[in-house]
Amino acid sequence: MDISSGWDLVVLGSGPAGEAAAMQAAKGGLRVAVIDRREQLGGNCTHWGTIPSKALRHQVRQVIRSQRNPLLRGLINPRQVRWQDLIQRSGEVVDSQVQVRGDFYIRNRVRVFAGRGEIQSPGEVRVDDDAGRQWLLRTRHILIATGSRPYHPEDVDFDHPRIYDSDTLLRMNHTPRHILVYGAGVIGCEYTSIFTGLGMRVDLINSRQHLLDFLDTEISDALSYHLREQGATIRHSEQYSKLVADDDGVTLELQSGKRLRADALLWSNGRSGNTQNIGLENIGLEANSRGQLAVDERYQTAVEGVYAVGDVVGWPSLASASYDQGRFCAAGIVDGGPVKQVTDVPTGIYTIPGISSVGRTEQELTEARVPYEVGQAFFKNLARAQITGERVGMLKLLFHRDTLEVLGIHCFGYQAMEIVHVGQAVMRQPSPNNTINYFIDTTFNYPTMAEAYRVAAINGVNRVRR
């Protein structure tokens, strides 16, 4: 085994959390090594999660748009689009990302080890690569950024070629006509949109009473309406009792007695942190039942010098937040100062139409007895939405009736994930600069989707003045 000493930081995992931490630490003058068990950099985010799913969605949106365009309608039939072709095109985006991300490591002189990392002690990490080579890295700090994987209950046969999770779906080599989506979290809802966009019949099975119940109820209701309109059948408050797959398809039996049959099934019910076989037992650490690690405000685990960021620490389990957790944690290691916390994370849900929000929901404000008012803009009335033909959607601003402080922004429809950032910037201003008046007093480009802010703000202020 090769012994390699003198490292300041060894990072396990090259997803957004590990990469951001490595770059921040390297720029702070630390000697940094990153270990990833996959040959290619970028983490699950680039290879199985965010990037391929968003690339797929983009292509499906183009197919949907072509159906609305009289010039293109008839040229493409969504049902004739092959899943394998979509995957191939998404692979090109993944390759570009790998290339770009690989350059970061070279430019910042971060050494990459392709192999499985296992912590031996608080200052030592062992790497085993596929060719049987071994290294022992001696380091002052260790960062666990090993991410997460789909949760697999024991009674589901994930080796069966008709049963997929969000990873194996990217290897599906047929195009189902009817698919069951079990689990209506973000992954289940996003893929339901993709499947219906391709003209597949979809049954979306939700174990809870509402879709994405962390959303503002009005937005969650709008999502249910649009998924149904696109052809999905949503079944709330259902749990599976039995899942049987054969050569032709899958039969799902629900505890309510229903029996559903389709060509394939996507299991999208939760994820587990990658904490198995990383040597936690060697340093006296234990993960919770979902494989996640507890950390303090420096992202340090119970063991001094061993940190964890990204999906492996649980909420919010987003690429966006993982990246910032990595940066903030590494900055704290470099300068020893207070560590910024990742708070007020926006949600960006890439269903069709997309959803994005930041701040509090109507339910939360009502429960906290905050006197708030609502301002709304419907996209169907905006010139930009009419020009693009993207008329579905709305922007909803929640603000304090007395101080006019913006308390929540909820948006669905075209460009929702971009639009939300305008309001987020205002919400982050300290009092009295966080005010809905900003949107009334500022001249926006026209015709734009951002104009929705002015429309919604005037709508809201008029209600207060009534």
Ligand X SMILES: NC(=O)c1ccc[n+]([C@@H]2O[C@H](COP(=O)([O-])OP(=O)(O)OC[C@H]3O[C@@H](n4cnc5c(N)ncnc54)[C@H](O)[C@@H]3O)[C@@H](O)[C@H]2O)c1
Ligand Y SMILES: Cc1cc2nc3c(=O)[nH]c(=O)nc-3n(C[C@H](O)[C@H](O)[C@H](O)COP(=O)(O)OP(=O)(O)OC[C@H]3O[C@@H](n4cnc5c(N)ncnc54)[C@H](O)[C@@H]3O)c2cc1C
Choices 31-39, 89-97, 347-355, 386-394 (CB under 6 A): range interacting with ligand X: 347-355
Q: Is 35 in the site for ligand Y (CB under 6 A)?
A: yes
- To the question of whether residue 60 is assigned a binding role by annotation, the answer is no
Binding mask 196-235 vs ligand X (x if CB under 6 A, - otherwise)? -----------x----------------------------
Q: Which does 310 bind (CB under 5 to 8 A by kind): ligand Y, ligand X, none?
A: ligand Y
- To the question of whether residue 218 is assigned a binding role by annotation, the answer is no
Q: Is 60 in the site for ligand Y (CB under 6 A)?
A: no
Cα Rg of the chain, angstroms: 24
Query: What tokens were used for 416?
Result: 């929702």
Choices 2-10, 105-113, 185-193, 435-443 (CB under 6 A): range interacting with ligand X: 185-193
- To the question of whether residue 131 is assigned a binding role by annotation, the answer is no
Q: Which does 151 bind (CB under 5 to 8 A by kind): ligand Y, ligand X, none?
A: ligand X
Binding mask 165-184 vs ligand X (x if CB under 6 A, - otherwise)? ------------------x-
Q: Which does 45 bind (CB under 5 to 8 A by kind): ligand Y, ligand X, none?
A: ligand Y
Query: CB-wise, 123 or 375, nearer to ligand Y?
Result: 123
Is residue 192 a contact partner of residue 268, using CB atoms and an 8 Å limit? no
Distance CA 255, CA 235 (A): 12
The secondary structure of 239-250 as a DSSP string is -EEEEEE-SS-E
- To the question of whether residue 54 is assigned a binding role by annotation, the answer is yes
What residues between 257 and 286 interact with ligand X by CB under 6 A? Answer: 268-272
Peptide bond into 150 cis (omega under 30): no
Distance CA 165, CA 461 (A): 46
Write the single-letter amino acid at 455: V
Query: What tokens were used for 51?
Result: 């990037």
Distance CA 77, CA 194 (A): 15
Query: CB-wise, 119 or 260, nearer to ligand Y?
Result: 119
Q: Is 57 in the site for ligand X (CB under 6 A)?
A: no
Query: What tokens were used for 286?
Result: 């234990």
Q: Is 290 in the site for ligand X (CB under 6 A)?
A: yes
What residues between 367 and 386 interact with ligand X by CB under 6 A? Answer: none
Distance CA 293, CA 411 (A): 33
Query: CB-wise, 289 or 443, nearer to ligand X?
Result: 289
Among 427, 434, 393, residue whose Cα is nearest residue 409: 427
Q: Which residue has the tokens 């913006």?
A: 406
Please work out, in degrees rounded to the nearest 5, the angle formed at the alpha carbon of residue 123 by the alpha carbons of 305 and 271: 65
- To the question of whether residue 423 is assigned a binding role by annotation, the answer is no
Is residue 17 a contact partner of residue 311, using CB atoms and an 8 Å limit? yes
- To the question of whether residue 22 is assigned a binding role by annotation, the answer is no
Indicate the length of the chain as a whole number: 466
Q: Is 330 in the site for ligand X (CB under 6 A)?
A: no
Among 7, 9, 11, 15, binds ligand Y (CB under 6 A): 15
Q: Is 16 in the site for ligand Y (CB under 6 A)?
A: yes
Distance CA 462, CA 397 (A): 13
Burial 43-67 (b: 16+ CB within 10 A, else e): bbbbbbbbbbbbbbbebbbebbebb
Name the DSSP letter for residue 256: T
- How distant is the alpha carbon of residue 16 from its chain centre? 12
- How distant is the alpha carbon of residue 215 from its chain centre? 15
Among 299, 350, 378, 438, binds ligand X (CB under 6 A): 350
Q: Which does 59 bind (CB under 5 to 8 A by kind): ligand Y, ligand X, none?
A: none
Q: Which does 351 bind (CB under 5 to 8 A by kind): ligand X, ligand Y, none?
A: none
Is residue 231 a contact partner of residue 352, using CB atoms and an 8 Å limit? no
Name the DSSP letter for residue 76: B
Distance CA 303, CA 113 (A): 24
Write the single-letter amino acid at 388: T
Choices 96-104, 129-137, 344-352, 427-435 (CB under 6 A): range interacting with ligand X: 344-352
Among 98, 145, 211, 227, binds ligand Y (CB under 6 A): 145
Q: Which does 361 bind (CB under 5 to 8 A by kind): ligand X, ligand Y, none?
A: none
Give me the least distance between CB of 138 and ligand X, in Å please: 34
Among 395, 392, 418, residue whose Cα is nearest residue 408: 395
- Residue ranges of the annotated binding site are 54, 117, 146-148, 183-190, 270, 311
Q: Can you say which residues are annotated as belonging to the binding site for FAD?
A: 54, 117, 146-148, 311
Return residues touching ligand Y (CB under 6 A): 12-18, 35-38, 43-45, 49-50, 53-54, 116-117, 145-148, 166, 187, 274, 278, 310-312, 317-320, 322, 348, 350
Interface ranges with ligand X (CB under 6 A): 151, 183, 185-188, 190, 207, 268-272, 290, 317-318, 348-350
**Annotation: binding site for NAD(+):** 183-190, 270
